Structure 1
Amino acid sequence: MKKLFVLLMCLGTTAIFAQDRYSKGMDKAFELWKEQKFVDASNLFERIATAEPDNWLPYYYVSQINTVISFGEKDEEKLSKQLAKAKEFIDVANAISPNNPEILIQEALINTAWIAFDGATYGMTMSMKNTQLYQKAMELAPNNPRVIFSKAEWDMGSARYFGKDTAPYCKDVEKALELFATFKSDTPFYPSWGKERAEQVLASCK
């Protein structure tokens, strides 16, 4: 009985130590990202992902960083490498956590980065994919503010492209902002981005 108790205590201590190491690593990666050390942040998230193969979040953040820095990138070779890595890691995240609306949004953002780079080449096929991804995300999480806002911003971009009014989607941005105020997750390091961008988009609506 004593040996069992000692074993359980050791296992508990090991689990706490691993969790503490994970938390410190994630905090450091976000700190690097905030300092705009994008490559360092991506590499740290990647190392955390290797150590946490059943956790979708580090994979998600590797994908997100490489997507965000691809917007505005003019070097096609560099952009291709970044977005290929983003897709590789979001595919792993999706395998770990299927039917996850946050992952669906991230996949749509990868497509959007390609469209922003070369709309003539990627616009048609990837626009159709994005419509499907946002629709699925809405079905899975109709009260997730990032889902509502991301879909609204995508719809606005599509409306502008076809010369249509974007005003009908402003109400969706307003709804997203209302939900940002109350949306919470018990999962540490769960995505929380979107509120500031939604405020900017709503300001442009008015």
Structure 2
Amino acid sequence: MKKVLFIFSLLISVLVAKANQDERFVKAMEATLLQFREAKDLNAFQEIANKFERIGNSEPNEWLPNYYGGLVYTIMAARVEASERDKYLDKADVFVEKLEKQISNNDEVEVLKGQVALMRISVDGQSRWMKYGQVFEGAIAKAKSINPENPRAYSLKAQNLFYTPEQFGGGLKNACPEIQKSLEKFAGFKPASSISPNWGEGEMKALAKKCQ
């Protein structure tokens, strides 16, 4: 009887410790995501990327810190001159490599891959489309196949069309249907948790105004 009680007490202790660890992880992520939403300059974004990396190192079984670390670097790349973007995208790819070892067939990870590829194209669309265009299209197609309701897969496709010249199949006219489709997906989207990916709607609403 004493042995059974000891094992039961030990099990309860383990479960409580795990719950406390999970709570600390969620709180750390929520605090860093709040800073992420409020960041204004490259220094702030760099600090946030570093925080996500530290959380990821301390929680090697959690994929979201690496996801957001990569996402931050794509945003940093978007805020600098084209000649400087690759150095940030190289760092984003480091997080993508970590994610590929952690998790497979994840639509949000595929969207992140698409985001990195799209930013690579933005450096020099004419010379890079052949290489990174295939990566982008493949990642978005896979994201949609995994989860057809993920609005970010549609929003990235819309952005790509919007910024692609009309003579190459892009432009506002071709982007507007995809923009509308992404907004329809956002309308029905609910993130799985307080720290799950939930970005992109604002950008689509801004582009939708141009369609009017």
Normalising by structure 1, we get a TM-score of 0.89
Corresponding residue SS for 2:12 = helix
Displacement of 1:100 in angstroms is 1.3
Corresponding residue SS for 1:131 = helix
2:74 paired residue among 60, 63, 67: 67
Displacement of 1:133 in angstroms is 1.6
Q: Does 1:170 align with 2:187?
A: no
Instruction: Letter of the 1:112 partner, please give it.
Output: L
Per-residue CA deviation, residues 127-174 of structure 1 (Å, 9 max, x unaligned), is 122122212222222221111222222233335362655324422322
* Cα distance in 2 between the residues matched to 1:127 and 1:181: 28
More off after superposition, 40-49 vs 110-119: 110-119
1:10-159 matched pairs, under 5 angstroms: 10-36=13-39, 37-74=44-81, 76=83, 79-159=85-165
Instruction: Letter of the 1:129 partner, please give it.
Output: V
* Cα distance in 1 between the residues matched to 2:176 and 2:127: 29
Per-residue CA deviation, residues 61-80 of structure 1 (Å, 9 max, x unaligned), is 0000011011141274x533
- Asked if structure 1 preserves the Cα contact closer than 8 Å seen for 2:161 and 2:169, the reply is no
Instruction: Letter of the 2:24 partner, please give it.
Output: R
Instruction: Letter of the 1:54 partner, please give it.
Output: N
- Asked if structure 1 preserves the Cα contact closer than 8 Å seen for 2:161 and 2:174, the reply is no
Shift >6 Å, 4+ stretches: none
Instruction: Letter of the 2:57 partner, please give it.
Output: T
Unaligned runs of 5+ in 1: none
* Cα distance in 2 between the residues matched to 1:160 and 1:105: 24
Cα gap change, 1:59/1:168 in structure 2, threshold over 3 Å: closer, same or farther? same
* Cα distance in 2 between the residues matched to 1:165 and 1:86: 28
Unaligned runs of 5+ in 2: none
Cα gap change, 1:24/1:134 in structure 2, threshold over 3 Å: closer, same or farther? same
Corresponding residue SS for 1:70 = helix
Cα gap change, 1:49/1:68 in structure 2, threshold over 3 Å: closer, same or farther? same
Cα gap change, 1:165/1:27 in structure 2, threshold over 3 Å: closer, same or farther? closer
Cα gap change, 1:100/1:159 in structure 2, threshold over 3 Å: closer, same or farther? farther
The equivalent residue for 2:200 is 194
* Cα distance in 2 between the residues matched to 1:70 and 1:117: 10
- Asked if structure 2 preserves the Cα contact closer than 8 Å seen for 1:152 and 1:173, the reply is yes
* Cα distance in 2 between the residues matched to 1:88 and 1:138: 24
Corresponding residue SS for 2:77 = coil
Displacement of 1:95 in angstroms is 2.5
